Amino acid sequence: MRFPLLLLSLIIVPDANASSPATPAVAELDGFRITASEYKFFIARMKAGHATRWFSSQKALSPEHWNAPHDGAEGMPVAGLLKQAALDEALAAKARLVLYYEHNLIADPGWDAFQKELVAENEHRARTAALGRPIYGPVRFTPLSYWLHRETQLSLRLAHRLRAGESGPGEDWEREFYEKNKTRIFNSREGILPIERARSIIRSRYFEERVHLLARARLESAEIKVNRHVVAGIPVE
């Protein structure tokens, strides 16, 4: 398996500067912390995805698998590569949350705020279900399903805000996007939609792409600090 690793300029924090044991910080992005609990969430995501792909090809996953050297990685154990990939994903996710925070879409980009939102949302859904009212989506979110739901909603809200305040794509961009995607996106029962009828969809896709580009730029411009002592102490369980 190949893990996608972001090329980031990291400032490694010495052990003496590690956060207090009560609230250990794995890393910081422009001062916004990634806690141990947050990092473990991304490790679990990466581990589940890796295990699924491994089972589909190898049909077995031994207890020794995580400490075995990974092919083509200069002897680095699978667990080490997985932890680095999880750290990259956690940093990218934090950059997106900071972007949403800077656009006033969330009050706090921290992990504790996410967990409080999850509890509040599940309590709201439980009360709604008890009253016999319709619920859209699951009656109860898991941390992963709520994280995915929240990410999607925040991304769409930012795209909508950008669309309201920016002029949008030019004709050249519209035409290029349309030609590349007309058989995949714009194919209807009546045939392929003409570009005139597809422009609303094209504009939506443009601003969704703008969100992705802004998030990448936010990550690449950030000062990132990683506490390797805390990272090393978190196992792949």
Cβ atoms of 69 and 20 within 8 Å: the answer is: no
Residue extents of the structural domains in the chain: 10-232
How are beta strands 191-192 and 25-29 bridged, if at all?
A: unpaired
Cβ atoms of 81 and 72 within 8 Å: the answer is: no
Indicate the pTM of the whole model. 0.80
**Non-local CB neighbours of 232 within 8 Å, separated by 6+ positions:** none
Dihedral angle sign, alpha carbons of residues 90, 91, 94, 99: negative
Architecture of domain 10-232: Orthogonal Bundle (1.10)
Task: Tell me what pLDDT residue 65 has.
Answer: 57
Which position has the higher pLDDT, 93 or 17? Answer: 93
Backbone angles phi, psi at 29, to 5 degrees: -120, 105
Both structure tokens of 119: 């509890």
What mean pLDDT, rounded, does the chain reach?
84
Q: What percent of the chain is modeled with pLDDT above 90?
A: 66
Task: Tell me what pLDDT residue 8 has.
Answer: 45
